[in-house]
Amino acid sequence: MLSLVPAAISLAATVLLAGLAVAAHALTLRAGAVAAVFGSVIVVFAGYPFLALLILFVFGSVLATRYQMEEKRRKNVQEGTAGERGVANVVAHSVIPVVIAVVIGWGDSGVPASTLALLYVSALAFGASDTFASEFGVLAGRARGILSLRPVPPGTNGGVSARGELFALVGAATTAVLALGLFALFGPPFSSVPRLLFVAITAGFIGCQVDSVLGEGLENRGCLTKHTTNPSACSRRSG
pLDDT-derived band at 224 (thresholds 50, 70, 90) equals low
Residue 105 CA to residue 1 CA, distance in Å, equals 5
Kindly report, residue by residue over 156-183, the tens digit of the pLDDT.
889 999 999 999 999 999 999 999 999 9
Residue 15 CA to residue 27 CA, distance in Å, equals 13
pLDDT at 238 (0 to 100)? 43
Residue 213 CA to residue 124 CA, distance in Å, equals 19
Nearest to 127 by CA among 149, 98, 161: 98
pLDDT at 150 (0 to 100)? 93
Q: What percent of the chain shows pLDDT beyond 90?
A: 52
Q: Which neighbouring-strand residues pair with 145?
A: 159
Kindly report, residue by residue over 144-157, the tens digit of the pLDDT.
999 999 999 888 88
pLDDT at 236 over 70: no
Average pLDDT over residues 97-118: 89
Long-range pairs of 40-44 with CB within 8 A, sequence gap ≥ 24:
40/10, 40/11, 40/14, 40/15, 41/98, 41/101, 41/102, 42/97, 42/98, 42/101, 43/2, 43/7, 43/10, 43/11, 43/14, 44/1, 44/2, 44/7, 44/10, 44/11, 44/105
Q: Domain spans of the chain?
A: 4-238
Average pLDDT over residues 108-118: 87
Residue 17 CA to residue 65 CA, distance in Å, equals 18
Residue 143 CA to residue 171 CA, distance in Å, equals 19
pLDDT at 231 over 60: no
Q: Which neighbouring-strand residues pair with 85?
A: 27
Largest CA distance in the chain: 57
Residue 50 CA to residue 57 CA, distance in Å, equals 11
- Global pTM? 0.86
Poorest-confidence range of 47-61, 95-109, 212-226? 212-226
Residue 79 CA to residue 85 CA, distance in Å, equals 7
| Mean per-residue pLDDT over the chain, rounded | 87
